[in-house]
Chain A
């Protein structure tokens, strides 16, 4: 047996990340539009990331943070990618990934090892394992920085790339996630 890693957002932050349902619902659609644009911009700048997905770029990936009142459905189809956000339960999709938001963000920027998070049950996956593996490997190789994900460039991008990992690392320590040690 392994000691499970909770990794969920610390108290105050968790309350901030879970506003009343009406606020979440009002925010879901614009957030989806912003994320869709960010992924499409990424596809224009870094098309090689999406080429690793091959046929899996048209699959739908449902990401459900367990400590956030929102879930996400992404179809990573390059410049035609879409991201939808819902404040009401789960989406339907080809692949489902559930886990604390800090763990999921750690997978996105390559800070955390996906297999280790799966072994110790921090994250749960279901659906098309081949599509999930393709996405995981594409993200792994992409070495995404916060500026890539947020679509920032210039000074703002450099600030984000410097600050955001430090903040996330601190939050992970607060959340009791020792896997931060595997940072390359």
Chain B
């Protein structure tokens, strides 16, 4: 196996669906602020993680535990506990972002394999080299701001594995540095594990269509026949100088299925699917499709029509290859 397909699971049922659909690895998190998908009803208890690891291992799949938020100063116990529980479960790696948590894991759990979360936003040989040398990080999840050419150059300059997102929601910011959600709601993915926390989200329907609000701020209005998106500020539509437009990022989903062969050639080890907050129907369909893509690339077969197959599952009803295929330079 040369390309590892890393798939999301917000619940044990989604993890089973991912494994049965062909995931090589599944990533998940605990039911607290230690992971960046801390949404109501989502995530794993320690017992559920134990069962999930046993289930995945029995079928030849790995489990990676995301503990990828930034620990609160003076109150890091939940993050330390999460690392210990992950190791006890037999998980294959933990995905970390915070230097303090990395330091704790490296010094107190030396046998645990460490991956660097996208939340750490390490995208240069210097930054990645620091994490590899200081904490023994074995794999880096790259921010979604690099072109395939840049990834190829980067891979030649580092000696750790790289993992890149190939499908799902796009985060246009320097990840781990975004304060938009904090500005509006006081909570953020970096510290609380939630971007646009749902208790601050409201949808209102009237004759003009659907209005999405975050903490009272109207961030988009969709016409009755227009595809809706997630209520994230970065994908909001705002009126500036009399014209309404997406100031930061369109509500589109990443789909890099057509670039898998080039990513493999660029030296990428693992392909990541976003969507721990999505249901098991989404997980199963996306994983099954991308497993077919990976198998086809490795066997030299005709490409899989992933854009067509997955069109109905994507945010905003539109797909993009994102920064991988930069057009503006």
Query: Interface residues of A, CB < 8 Å — how many?
Result: 43
A24 within 8 A of B: no
Tell me, in angstroms, the Cα distance from A170 to B202 when the chains sit together.
34
Contact with A along B297-328 (1 / 0, CB 8 A): 00000000000010011111100000000000
A133 with B39: CB separation less than 8 A: yes
At the interface, is chain B mostly helix, strand, loop or mixed?
A: mixed
Tell me, in angstroms, the Cα distance from A110 to B10 when the chains sit together.
14
A130 with B199: CB separation less than 8 A: yes
Residues of A within 8 A of B42 (CB): 133, 137
B225 with A1: CB separation less than 8 A: yes
Residue of A54, A141, A178 touching B12 (CB-CB under 8 A)? A141
User: Quick check: which of B132-140, B232-240, B281-289 contacts chain A, the rest being far away?
Assistant: B281-289
Residue of B202, B279, B312 touching A126 (CB-CB under 8 A)? B202
A133 with B314: CB separation less than 8 A: no
Residues of A within 8 A of B279 (CB): 110, 113-115, 136, 140
A105 within 8 A of B: no
**Shortest Cβ gap from B210 to chain A (Å):** 7
**Shortest Cβ gap from A67 to chain B (Å):** 18
A182 within 8 A of B: yes
A113 with B313: CB separation less than 8 A: yes
B192 within 8 A of A: no
Residue of B13, B202, B228 touching A143 (CB-CB under 8 A)? B13
Q: Considering only CB atoms, which chain A residue lies closest to B318 in the complex? A: A2
A162 within 8 A of B: no
B225 with A137: CB separation less than 8 A: no
Q: Considering only CB atoms, which chain A residue lies closest to B42 in the complex? A: A137
**Shortest Cβ gap from A129 to chain B (Å):** 4
Q: Considering only CB atoms, which chain A residue lies closest to B311 in the complex? A: A2
Residues of A within 8 A of B283 (CB): 184
B312 with A120: CB separation less than 8 A: yes
* Contact flag A113-B227 (CB < 8 Å), given A119-B314, A120-B312, A129-B202: no
A124 with B210: CB separation less than 8 A: yes
Residues of B within 8 A of A113 (CB): 278-279, 281-282, 285, 313
Tell me, in angstroms, the Cα distance from A132 to B315 when the chains sit together.
19
Residues of A within 8 A of B228 (CB): 118-121
Residues of A within 8 A of B115 (CB): none
* Contact flag A126-B198 (CB < 8 Å), given A118-B228, A184-B280: no
A181 with B41: CB separation less than 8 A: no
**Shortest Cβ gap from A103 to chain B (Å):** 12
Residues of A within 8 A of B282 (CB): 113, 115-116, 182
Tell me, in angstroms, the Cα distance from A3 to B155 when the chains sit together.
41
B41 with A138: CB separation less than 8 A: yes
B11 within 8 A of A: yes
Residue of A110, A130, A131 touching B280 (CB-CB under 8 A)? A110
A4 with B225: CB separation less than 8 A: yes
A53 within 8 A of B: yes
A119 with B317: CB separation less than 8 A: yes
**Shortest Cβ gap from B220 to chain A (Å):** 13
A125 within 8 A of B: yes
Q: Considering only CB atoms, which chain B residue lies closest to A181 in the complex? A: B285
A135 within 8 A of B: yes
**Shortest Cβ gap from B274 to chain A (Å):** 12
B278 with A115: CB separation less than 8 A: yes
**Shortest Cβ gap from A76 to chain B (Å):** 11
B86 within 8 A of A: no
Tell me, in angstroms, the Cα distance from A171 to B40 when the chains sit together.
32
A119 with B316: CB separation less than 8 A: yes
Q: Considering only CB atoms, which chain B residue lies closest to A49 in the complex? A: B41
A183 within 8 A of B: yes
B40 with A130: CB separation less than 8 A: yes
**Shortest Cβ gap from A6 to chain B (Å):** 12
Q: Which residues of A contact B (CB under 8 A)?
A: 1-2, 4, 52-54, 56, 110-116, 118-121, 124-138, 140-143, 178-179, 181-184
Q: List 17 A-B contacts (CB under 8 A).
A: A1-B226, A115-B277, A119-B227, A119-B315, A120-B317, A126-B203, A130-B198, A134-B40, A134-B41, A136-B279, A137-B11, A140-B280, A181-B312, A182-B282, A182-B312, A182-B313, A184-B280
